[in-house]
Amino acid sequence: MRTVLAIALALTLSGCGNMSLFDLHWTFKKALVRMPDGTCREYEIEAWHDFENSDMIQIETKHEVICTHSVNVLLIKSK
């Protein structure tokens, strides 16, 4: 029984390919946001939030709060 639990834990923590159950990379520095007129703007992110059971994303900058659908946003993190 312990062996089965150890294997299950190892698989859970290691993830599969490019997916992980515990993805800790949720800090993004920039966002590209598509505006209603079709233009795209780049923002420095102070904070961002997604909403449970929703496709909306709220991005906070120094001067603005932007709330839009997730298809309009590209979050960027530099290594």
Q: How far, in whole angstroms, is CA 62 from its chain's centroid? A: 19
**Which residues, 6 or more positions from 51, have their beta carbon under 8 angstroms from its beta carbon?**
57, 58
SS3 33: strand
pLDDT average, residue stretch 21-46: 84
58 sits in which H/E element: strand 56-60
The stretch 48-57 carries a mean pLDDT of 89
Domains of the chain, start order: 24-79 (2.30.30)
Collapsing DSSP to helix, strand or coil, 5 comes out as helix
Higher pLDDT, 22 or 60: 60
Q: Band the pLDDT of 52: cuts 50, 70, 90.
A: confident
Q: Is the pLDDT of residue 59 over 90?
A: yes
54: amino acid identity, one letter: S
pLDDT above 90: percentage of residues in the chain:
47
CA distance 9 to 73: 34
- pTM (predicted TM-score): 0.64
